[in-house]
């Protein structure tokens, strides 16, 4: 079974899986291996057009939200 989780706010909509994909891409661009990725926490702030993330409880950052 596949579950699609959408976040909607003031006429904006984003698929949570798309944000996860962006964060995974950031991880790979940092030269890290997929097998080193254990956890991802996403903090979606649509009012800021931003998704803050924490990878493996130590790597933090932000990716922009389009939509």
**Cα–Cα distance, 17 to 6 (Å, whole number):** 9
The pLDDT score that the predictor gives to residue 3 is 93
How is residue 5 annotated by DSSP? -
Q: What is the mean pLDDT of residues 57-66?
A: 93
For range 36-52, the mean pLDDT: 93
Per-residue pLDDT reduced to its tens digit, 3-39 = 999 988 888 888 999 999 999 999 999 899 989 999 9
pLDDT value of residue 10: 82
DSSP-derived letter for residue 11 is T
* pLDDT score recorded for residue 52: 97
pLDDT at 29: 92
């Amino acid at each position: 079974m596949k579950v699609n989780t959408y976040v909607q706010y003031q006429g904006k909509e984003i698929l949570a899986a798309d944000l996860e994909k962006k964060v995974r891409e950031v991880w790979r661009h940092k030269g890290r291996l997929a097998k080193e990725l254990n956890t991802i926490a996403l903090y979606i702030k649509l009012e800021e057009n931003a998704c803050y993330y924490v990878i493996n409880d130590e790597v933090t950052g932000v990716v922009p939200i389009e939509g």
